[in-house]
Amino acid sequence: MPATRPADRRARAQALPPAAPQDLRAITAFLDRAWAESGLSPLTLHSYRRDLEGLARWLGTRGRDLASADRQQLYDYLADRTAAGYAARSNARLLSALRAFYVQQVRIGVREADPTALLDPPKLGRSLPKALSESQVEALILASPVDTPSGMRDRAMVELMYATGLRVSELVNLPATALNLRQGVVRVMGKGSKERLVPLGDEAQHWLETYLAQARPALAGGRAAAPLFLGRGGAALSRQQFWNVVKRLAVLAGIDPARVSPHGLRHSFATHLLNHGADLRALQMLLGHSSLSTTQIYTLVAREGLKRLHQAHHPRA
């Protein structure tokens, strides 16, 4: 069966009836407990709510709710999504949300057994992070025109992201108070409300100082604004707005926009540091990874780069 387009899948999901009130109450209670107990990020909580409400709406068409769903129904739902063209990674994330929900339901005594216990996650191929070359990053950074307040902001944002490897959500949510330009560091609140200090580097620090002095006041329009990077009316930029900035700069730099993304700048930061001899443990701290195994994937990226270099230049490759 051919995969459907994302727009078709969205239309299909929107055609389902709303989730039952008791399911919405159960989801909200679950998210409140998860936030209080584990300090989950707003983005994770939003993803959990979307995934659980999607299941609740699907169950509603079959006369069931979250409290009464069994393993077979959850299996059928995953199979239905697969047939509709959802990727394995999307279904794996969904299953993670369902497990968190039902484990909590068992723990608080709402259910006796966890219906996700014997559900196997879909097999995921291990995809390597896609990093730009150092010359491509340089071209991307220099592509931003700095003769307008928004252009100066874009230059400062790209400089900061490449200098620090921030996640895009961390970047757009940075408050102005997170910067310490005297010490040359930025204080970042990462996943799980874990805080880390990341050095800025001279170039990023220079453009941040320039942005703060010359562009940010104009973007704030005389209003007090907490976010570091401002859009129209002094509001914080969204993830999607910064995504559009990076795509536009890619076109100006002569780079295929399909190869460039905000997360790709984070990958480029990590890959280039490792290529220049950075310690893996230090890289883990800079990226804010809770596990070293997450950081180790960048060693595979470096290894693949060496293989390509050998094949391109060795006379007997």
Which tokens sit at 316? 């007997």
Instruction: Indicate whether 14 pLDDT > 80.
Output: no
Question: Which pLDDT tens digit goes with each residue over 108-142?
Answer: 999 999 999 888 766 655 555 578 889 999 999 99
The residues annotated as belonging to the active site are: 167, 191, 263, 266, 289, 298
Domain 134-313, CATH among 1.10.443.10, 2.130.10.10, 1.10.286.10, 3.40.1190.20:
1.10.443.10
Question: What percent helix, strand, coil does the chain show, rounded to 5?
Answer: 60, 5, 35
Is the whole model's pTM more than 0.85, yes or no?
A: no
What would the CATH number be for the domain defined by 6-107? Answer: 1.10.150.130
Residue 2 has pLDDT above 50, yes or no: no
Sign of the torsion angle spanned by Cα atoms 190, 195, 201, 205 = positive
Write the CB contacts of 228 (distance below 8 Å, at least 6 apart in sequence).
174, 175, 176, 178, 179, 216
Residue 288 near residue 196, CB atoms below 8 Å: yes
Cα of first residue to Cα of last residue in the chain, in angstroms, is 41
Amino acid at 148: T
Residue 3: pLDDT above 60? no
CA–CA distance, 266 with 164 (Å, rounded to integer): 8
Structure token pair of residue 22:
């008791």
Could you state, in order of their start, the residue ranges of all structural domains in the chain?
Answer: 6-107, 134-313
Q: What is the spatial distance between Cα 269 and Cα 137, in angstroms, rounded to a whole number?
A: 9
pLDDT digits (tens, 9 = 90+) for 178-214: 999 999 999 998 887 788 999 998 999 999 999 999 9
pLDDT at 126: 54
Q: In what order do the strands lie in the sheet with 195-199?
A: 179-180, 185-189, 195-199
